Structure 1
Amino acid sequence: MLIAVTGMNWGDEGKGRIIDLLAESADAVVRYQGGNNAGHTVVTEQGKFVLNLLPSGILHPNVVCVLGDGMVVDLEHLVSEMEHIREKGIQITPENLKLSAHATISMPWHRIQDELEEDRLAQNGAAFGSTRRGIAYAYSDKYRKKTLRLGDLLHLQEEPVQRRLHTMLEAKNMELSGCYHQEPMSYPALLAWCEDQAKRFSPYICDTGSYLEEMLSEGKQVVLEAQLGAMRDIDYGIFPYTSSSSTIAAYGPIGAGIPERTPDHVVGVLKAYSTCVGAGPFAAEHAMSEAWMETLRQAGGEYGAATGRPRRVGPFDAVASRYGLKCQNADKIALTKLDVLSAMKEIPIITGYQRDGHITESFDPMDNLDSYTPVVEYLPGWQKDISGCRSWEELPDEARSYVEFLEHQLNHEIQFVSVGAKREEYLVKGEWL
């Protein structure tokens, strides 16, 4: 069985939590796009883990984790992340972590370019809100054919790879010295860096697509892990304030290296309220007062897993979420962090956007979204702790009514509800996985 877990909003919906639970019965978990520009947070009895590159299944000893073809991989960051995980007692070996030979390497200069360009744009108030981790530049060079793939590290002494290294270094030095007045990099230093990475990662690099196809042919369960959400998709998101890869479930098998496959299930993950890290239109933050938003931010611990930046927050946005559901074509929906709303006397929900006296219930990422005013409806809160609820019937009436209202707005059943941060603090309703 092939299951894709994707975000239906701006990212940070709690996908790591869902993947961690699915990993209990999975054989492999695969990251299929993105890099270390976002993070998934998982809380276990061993502590709190923030994972940027490693799939959330790495916390399960019997799960094989894969960095897929569609990723851009910062190897220096990966080393640091692996060491941090190992310090907490998690074993990482070539048996349970496999790196696709087709995945793109995020080269050292990609971070430098990202920082320099974001600083330049910030001087004019035009910064994109980049995480400054070089993701856009790694993807740009991938499509310009001016970077390496992980499999190239296995062939560094061969003439074709060395010729490409010379070509890309020449081009990059022209960019960095000509545009940003940086000192040029040397070929010996670049080759030495590549050789160090090859020594460290060669045992992990393989044909992961064939490996996954064999697993699926044997009837095993593979989970595809997306980064970010539909609003950050390069094609369907709030361009240009997007990521540089496809966050859509339909891309999952392609980015995983198994393009001949189609997901059996797509789990779309939503938070019980709206959050956003980074720049771009975000109607939800215009719905309530700054004091209300700060209270919600503190209650939910809403700070970026990768950057630590305070997340922009607001009420659940049904307009954007309907669009996210359409993009992801999810047949299962997981709602996270319902417990964070427990202290509220009344809970706002955005049901439409208003401009010039006209109300719309549809979301168009090409529209001037900042020109709309959110239309807000209020439901009564439950004002009691729900973290101990393990069945739908145990939830307070007001909490059930809130979830049912969201279902009505989405025209889709919500089958999974998290009621706390711990692994066991959730409940299912209807037909789950």
Structure 2
Amino acid sequence: MSNVVVVGTQWGDEGKGKIVDLLTENADLVVRFQGGNNAGHTLVVGEKTFILHLIPSGILHPGKVCLIGNGVVLDPEVFCRELDALAARGVDVGPERIVISPKTHVIMPYHKVLDKLREEKRTGEKIGTTGRGIGPCYEDKAARVGVRAGDFRSKNLLRAKIEHALAEKNALFTHFFGGQALKVDDVLDEVLESGRRLVGHLGDVSERIAETAAAGRSILFEGAQGTHLDIDHGTYPFVTSSNTVAGNVAAGAGCSPGMLGRILGIVKAYTTRVGSGPFPTELFDTVGEHLQQQGGEFGATTGRKRRCGWLDLPLLRESIRLNGVTEIVLTKLDVLSGLERIRICTGYALDGRELRYPPQGEGLLAEVQPIYDDVPGWSEDISTATTWDDLPDAATAYIRRLEQELKVPVTILSVGPDRRQTIQRPA
């Protein structure tokens, strides 16, 4: 297997975790290159369900090495909780299996306080932040005042950085938000223990990637969230705080763009979104309820109910263009079973024009009207299908229609949450 990049093509929650878990069998390294614990990957292995927020999904395969790159923002407390939860279930999470770049920025307690205060104070429509401090941590990174994982090697350096950060943060907490100031020593004490454990996993991620590539072994790059949550290319301002597109692998993992091989775009067979923001194909009827219930559409990180709607091809065309998607992985196809009619959004209408791609401009996506094409549904339960020929004709016709519209082959189909409920199809 050549190097593979796994990216979400919608607003996240496309089922990337299962696909990374599936592909890890043929990879030597699994690398997380952006985002924080505002993303959650749910994996079902036999009778066991695992929910991971920071540690790459490949950790469930014995002997595989998982790297956390410099483009990630890492909450040390959450990281330690994940380590302990996995270890309690018999998963090896030693430092030889999980390596963190010293350049990875760390989410501090004051980042989470600021995140929540801002969302509470925001008037009008909320952004829908998870309140986990992701955005404020990336802000400090850009402002060059961030705390990095390698800083935990020196208590004096760490304390000095916290003191510097709180000089500004406390002014916001007290004067702007009317809250309480944080004490330097309290913050330091809160992070020292988890930081100590973090240090045990530090290593040169960029070097490990280069050595693996030079030896001709395979690397799997795992993204979080989805293309339309990208800070630059998503539905701004209702986006995440990092670049989620495939091009960010090089910057977020510390490798050459020439290392990127297959770009797998994960496409849910319908569309979901968590939190606020425009959603042209959103459903508010019994069909939307069907998708929500049958798909178990609750956020792995927040537990929030996901908004559900029909598949949106303009969004996917944009994702394919931005990421250079070479193959599509279609997930949750089984959720569409039982629908007599399935609608596909083939374009948008805006100001008397028909658009094949999302309009470029803040707020414009909220003004479009979806243009639908209806195709037959199917009643058969496809969750036990193991080959292409096991699928009903209406399901295969749906997939071929997507390939025709998007000009990219569908090579993997997911028909259930378990890693065994997968159909592999040659490109």
The answer to whether the 8 A contact 1:101-1:205 is kept is yes
1:117 paired residue number: 118
The answer to whether the 8 A contact 2:44-2:419 is kept is yes
Q: Displaced runs of 4+ in structure 1, greater than 4 A?
A: none
For the pair 1:313 / 2:314, whether they are aligned, the reply is: no
Q: CA deviation at 1:46?
A: 4.8
The answer to whether the 8 A contact 2:348-2:369 is kept is yes
Secondary structure in 2 matching 1:151: helix
2:134 paired residue number: 135
1:16 paired residue number: 17
For the pair 1:73 / 2:68, whether they are aligned, the reply is: no
Letter in 2 for 1:428: Q
Q: Equivalent of 1:416, from 412, 415, 422?
A: 412
Measure the CA separation in 2 of the matches of 1:238 and 1:36: 20
For the pair 1:233 / 2:268, whether they are aligned, the reply is: no
The answer to whether the 8 A contact 1:46-1:88 is kept is no
For the pair 1:395 / 2:391, whether they are aligned, the reply is: yes
Measure the CA separation in 2 of the matches of 1:345 and 1:222: 42
* Identical aligned residues as a percent: 36
Q: Equivalent of 1:273, from 249, 254, 270?
A: 270
Measure the CA separation in 2 of the matches of 1:349 and 1:56: 31
1:85 paired residue number: 86
Q: CA-atom RMSD, angstroms? A: 1.5
More divergent stretch after superposition (260-269 vs 326-335):
260-269
More divergent stretch after superposition (391-400 vs 355-364):
355-364
For the pair 1:298 / 2:293, whether they are aligned, the reply is: yes
1:6 paired residue number: 7
Q: CA deviation at 1:162?
A: 4.5
Q: Equivalent of 1:382, from 373, 378, 383?
A: 378
Secondary structure in 2 matching 1:228: coil
Measure the CA separation in 2 of the matches of 1:60 and 1:136: 31
Q: CA deviation at 1:337?
A: 0.7
**What is the CA deviation profile of residues 225-269 of structure 1, one whole-angstrom value per residue up to 9, with x for unaligned ones?**
000111000111111111000001011122012246430111110
1:210-249 matches, within 5 Å, as: 210-249=207-246
Measure the CA separation in 2 of the matches of 1:207 and 1:320: 36
Q: CA deviation at 1:301?
A: 0.6
The answer to whether the 8 A contact 1:236-1:365 is kept is no
Measure the CA separation in 2 of the matches of 1:109 and 1:146: 13
Q: CA deviation at 1:143?
A: 0.7
1:262 paired residue number: 259
Secondary structure in 1 matching 2:132: coil
1:172 paired residue number: 169
Q: CA deviation at 1:356?
A: 4.2
More divergent stretch after superposition (388-397 vs 104-113):
388-397
More divergent stretch after superposition (77-86 vs 294-303):
77-86
The answer to whether the 8 A contact 2:70-2:253 is kept is yes
Secondary structure in 2 matching 1:275: strand
1:150 paired residue number: 149
Measure the CA separation in 2 of the matches of 1:5 and 1:321: 15
The answer to whether the 8 A contact 1:107-1:147 is kept is no
Note closer, same or farther for the CA distance 1:383–1:204 as it changes in structure 2 (3 Å cut).
Answer: same
Scaled by the length of structure 1, the TM-score of the pair is 0.95
2:193 paired residue number: 196
Letter in 1 for 2:426: G
Q: CA deviation at 1:270?
A: 0.2
Q: CA deviation at 1:407?
A: 0.9
Letter in 2 for 1:264: G
The answer to whether the 8 A contact 2:247-2:257 is kept is no
Measure the CA separation in 2 of the matches of 1:370 and 1:175: 33
> How many residue pairs were aligned?
425
Q: CA deviation at 1:28?
A: 1.3
Secondary structure in 2 matching 1:427: strand
Measure the CA separation in 2 of the matches of 1:172 and 1:418: 45
Measure the CA separation in 2 of the matches of 1:52 and 1:177: 32
More divergent stretch after superposition (387-396 vs 231-240):
387-396
**What is the CA deviation profile of residues 53-86 of structure 1, one whole-angstrom value per residue up to 9, with x for unaligned ones?**
1111111111111111101101111112222222
**What is the CA deviation profile of residues 352-388 of structure 1, one whole-angstrom value per residue up to 9, with x for unaligned ones?**
1123443222212425111111111111112101122
For the pair 1:349 / 2:344, whether they are aligned, the reply is: yes
Q: CA deviation at 1:198?
A: 3.3
Letter in 2 for 1:153: F
2:321 paired residue number: 326
Letter in 2 for 1:353: Y
For the pair 1:428 / 2:419, whether they are aligned, the reply is: no
Q: Where in structure 1 are there 5+ consecutive unaligned residues?
A: none
More divergent stretch after superposition (408-417 vs 169-178):
169-178
**What is the CA deviation profile of residues 146-196 of structure 1, one whole-angstrom value per residue up to 9, with x for unaligned ones?**
2210011112235xx544333222122222222122222222223333432
